[in-house]
A and B are shown apart, each in its own frame.
Chain A
Amino acid sequence: MTVLARLATVVRTRALPAAISIVLIGATLWPLVRQPVDDDFPLSTYPMFAFERPTRMTMSYAVGITRTGRRYLRPEIVGTPEVLQARAIIERGIGGTARERMALCSQIATTLREVSEFDDVVAIAIVTGTHDALDFLIRGQIGTEIERVRCEVKR
């Protein structure tokens, strides 16, 4: 076999695996040409943990009102086991009309009714709270809260 023929064989046999390798690695690295905030799936820029964030945070969340106080609700009761998705669901619901807010509250109350662990909860309140994360976690200081909507848990 001549050198040229051997080269042709190598190119022919290696062309497809080489192309697959180049395309997959290239696609994975392609987010480098996008803005880091322009995230996607599965070709991500992986921007997690990279952003500057103040420790003071305002966010909306659902709390269960009991006869003696209140309890924080698990994300599953909002509609997903993932905390970030639960937050997105509440933020979007709370940003809608009064009717949409009540619909979200009722949906949470209906789901909660089926969870025996929360038998003591008589109402759901969706609140928007502003807390300093360091004060809250290290010193146990709760910030300010505004109630946005409240609905009864019908049993």
Chain B
Amino acid sequence: MKRAIAWLGDWWFSPAPAERLAALRIAIGTFAVVWVVGRTSELSGLARLPRAHFAPVGVVKLLDGPLPRELVILIAIATAVLLLAFTLGVAYRVTAPLAAAALLWTLSYRNSWGMPFHTENLLVLHVIALACAPAADVWALARRKGSPPATGYGWAIRLLVALTAATYLLAGIAKLRIAGLGWIDGELLRNQIAIDNLRKALLGDAVAPLATPFLDHPSALTVFCGLTLVLELGSVVTLLGGRVARMWAAGAWAFHLGVVLLMNIWFPYPLFGFAFLPVLHAERPFSWLFGWWRDRRQRPRALGNAPPV
């Protein structure tokens, strides 16, 4: 038992470059900033709705009723500013927890109007995890001087991977708990696709491009259902890292693409790859970008020092 715990500890705390964790902070933080800024007008619109439509979830359950519109917008702007500081790594120990708390509040408030979405849960969990980690030791403005943490950076990246895996695992388990193994036969998903697209049509939204052909020939949905359950229940393989984790991420991304084509439901966080960045070498594009930027800044200076021809 002791040996197993020691092995688990060594594995969880195995090293990873500080740059990788910093890259995740920058990428996920940028997504969060853009997401919150993009939701501001919607939050403003929601604030105009009658009080009866307010159905608080999560931390927003603390409220008895909706907040005034001006306050909702002010909180959304403050959230975006804090997330920008989080992304840039400014006074990280202070701004990161505040940014995570503000994001949790703002998105919980957005989900408190009749129907919780499932598109933002992982983003919030990732930002909270990053806020608890030393993610601004490199590639940060006004970073704290000091020696690297004794526990390194690998545990935080592994935590992000575990959170991604956990959310997909929960989705798979929910299908088994609610529908059982019969979910695989495809009929239940066919009805879901049909009802969802009908609802979209009646509410003036676009019907998914592959919905009608698949509804007309439902046998293909059995394959889609089987693969979905394998992906969701098998999400824990991402903790192994390496090629297996990357293959799972590719499969999960393809699943989300399938959901767009069949139901026109967009999960932007995984669809744009951010949910799967923790299983990749996320620092590589940033290293290239920062290297290119350094070279670009140094080149004119070098030319300026050159002797006249």
Contacts and interface: CB of A to CB of B under 8 A. Distances in A.
Interface of A: 9-10, 13-14, 17-18, 20-21, 24-25, 28-29, 31-32, 36-37, 39-55, 57, 59, 61, 71-89, 92-93, 96, 103, 129, 131, 133-134, 136-138
A81 B203 contact: no
A53 B188 contact: yes
A47 B46 contact: no
Nearest to B175: A50
A92 B53 contact: yes
Interface stretch (B65-73, B77-85, B192-200, B289-297): B192-200
Contact of A54 (B149, B170, B191, B211): B191
Given A42-B121, A133-B194, A80 B113 contact: yes
Contacts of A129: 202
Contacts of A77: 204
Contact of A49 (B12, B129, B192, B198): B192
B114 interface: yes
Contacts of B179: 50-52
A41 B191 contact: no
Nearest to B162: A25
Given A14-B13, A46-B121, A88-B55, 5 more contacts: A14-B9, A36-B174, A71-B204, A75-B203, A79-B49
Contact of B197 (A49, A75, A96, A137): A137
A46 B223 CA distance: 21
A57 B195 CA distance: 7
B46 A80 contact: yes
Contacts of A40: 57-58, 116
B166 interface: yes
A106 to B, nearest CB: 12
Contacts of A86: 203
**Residue from the set A24, A44, A45, A93 with the largest chain B CB neighbour count within 10 Å:** A44
Interface residues of B, number: 74
Contacts, number: 207
B111 A51 contact: no
B204 A17 contact: no
Nearest to B178: A50
B219 to A, nearest CB: 15
B174 A47 contact: yes
A31 B125 CA distance: 14
A72 B170 contact: no
B166 A79 contact: no
A109 to B, nearest CB: 15
A43 B191 CA distance: 27
Interface stretch (B21-29, B150-158, B277-285): B150-158
B257 to A, nearest CB: 15
Contacts of B112: 41
B207 interface: yes
B260 interface: no
B46 A53 contact: no
Contacts of B211: 137
Given A42-B108, A47-B174, A85 B113 contact: yes
Interface string B35-47: 0000000100110
Contacts of A75: 203-205
A42 B175 contact: no
Nearest to A61: B202
B150 A13 contact: yes
Nearest to B166: A28
Contacts of A50: 174-175, 177-179, 183, 188
Contacts of A83: 199-200, 203, 205
A75 to B, nearest CB: 5
B116 A96 contact: no
B115 A82 contact: yes
B114 A88 contact: yes
B118 A46 contact: yes
Contact of A21 (B118, B121, B162, B177): B162
Contact of A44 (B121, B159, B195): B121
Pick the 8 closest A-B CB pairs, nearest first. A88-B114, A133-B194, A46-B171, A133-B198, A84-B115, A50-B178, A13-B150, A72-B204
Contacts of B49: 79-80, 89
Given A51-B179, A136-B198, A80 B45 contact: yes
